[in-house]
Structures are given as C-alpha cells and as structure tokens.
Structure 1
Amino acid sequence: MLHLLFLTYTAAEEDAEPFVRDHVAFLEEHHGDGIFLVSGQTAPTTIGGAIIAQGVDRAGVEQIVRQDPFVTHGVAEYTITTIVPGRVHPALSALLAQSS
C-alpha cells in the first residue's frame, strides 16, 4: 500500500517558519524508518509539500501525520490518498514487496 500525502499550509507560509527545523526532523525520522520514500516541496512552495509513504496502513499514516510539527502548531494539514498498486514498474517491485 502506498500513500500520497499532500501538505497544505493553513496559515501564511511565514507562520510555518519557526517550525521548519522540527518539521525536517520529523521527515528525517520517517525517512530513516523507511516509511517515507520521497518528500519535498511543491512548486510553487506556497502550497506546501508532498510525501510518498509505504509500509503502514491508512490508520498508521494518519497517526504519523498528526505528529508533524506543522500540524501540531496549526499551520498546515494533510490530505491522504491511499493507493493499492495494481501495476508496478520493475524498478519499484522489490521495494514495494518489502512493505507487504
């Protein structure tokens, strides 16, 4: 199962600045545990960011995003889209098989 996480600012982008360091630590933690495969800012950055996550069910990913400092400080929220892969490029097959 894959999850597309879209982070949207609910306040001015400048309001999120005090929490960037903690948000980056949050990202690094979940990249380190193998749940976040890709993360980055969207273009334009005023929208927020996006993450591709795997290895947890929907409830698990919902719990994780509630811990993001941007969310806990009320400056952003997530929209989650869950994908059950039907067809997978061979380059990703082994990676996705590990999360099953």
Structure 2
Amino acid sequence: MMVMFFMELTYKKPISVVEAALPLHNQYLDRNYKLGNFIFSGRKDPHNGGVILANVADLKDLENIYHEDPFFRQGIADYKILNFTPTKMNDVFAQIPLR
C-alpha cells in the first residue's frame, strides 16, 4: 500500500522574516523536486504558510527531508503532516511512480 504526505506549513514569524529566508527555502524545494520527493507546493491563501505534497517512502524519510528546510531550521514555520493512501487520481498523477 502506497502512502503520500501533505505538509502544511504555518508561519510563526513575521512575513519579513519569511521573505528573507525564501531564497534558501526555494533552493530546498528545487533540490527535493529534482530528487522526486515533492509533487507540488505553494502558499496558502491567506498567505500565512504553505503546503507541499511529498512522495516519499515513509514518515521517517519525510522528517529527515523537512528538517533540512530553512523554515524549519530557523523556526519560521510549524509543520503539520497528513498522511494518506491514494486510491484514485487524475491520469497526470498516475504517471508519477509512488514510493
């Protein structure tokens, strides 16, 4: 059975601190997209955090990955993890090899 993870980030620092760390956070995102760990990400509306859909083997792998995020390391955001088992998906997502 395959499991995927949504990460919900909620900022706990002012937006000026978030924006200052954004270049490093974007490098972190880019690295994980290249590794196939992330499927999509984006900011929440209202802009008080963001979401990431992760395609990793298990929760331990996910923890190791998000502990590298500058937002985590600098205490900028709290992380809420939701794991789920995909049972149906759009054909576009069906091409993604689930881990």
Match of 1:41 in 2: 43
Question: How many Å apart are 1:94 and its aligned residue?
Answer: 3.2
Whether 1:71 and 2:75 are equivalent positions in the alignment is no
Unaligned runs of 5+ in 1: none
Unaligned runs of 5+ in 2: none
Cα distance in 2 for partners of 1:93, 1:17 equals 34
Cα distance in 1 for partners of 2:87, 2:39 equals 19
| RMSD, matched Cα | 1.4
Percent identity reads 27
Question: How many Å apart are 1:92 and its aligned residue?
Answer: 2.4
SS at match of 1:6: strand
Match of 1:17 in 2: 19
Whether 1:80 and 2:69 are equivalent positions in the alignment is no
Question: How many Å apart are 1:10 and its aligned residue?
Answer: 1.2
Question: How many Å apart are 1:93 and its aligned residue?
Answer: 2.6
Cα distance in 2 for partners of 1:41, 1:4 equals 13
Between Structure 1 and Structure 2, which shows a larger proportion of helix residues?
Answer: 1
Match of 1:27 in 2: 29
- Contact 2:39–2:53 under 8 Å retained in 1: yes
Count of residue pairs brought into register by the alignment: 97
Question: How many Å apart are 1:16 and its aligned residue?
Answer: 1.7
Cα distance in 1 for partners of 2:85, 2:98 equals 12
TM-score, normalization: structure 1? 0.87
Q: What is the letter of the counterpart of residue 65 of structure 2?
A: I
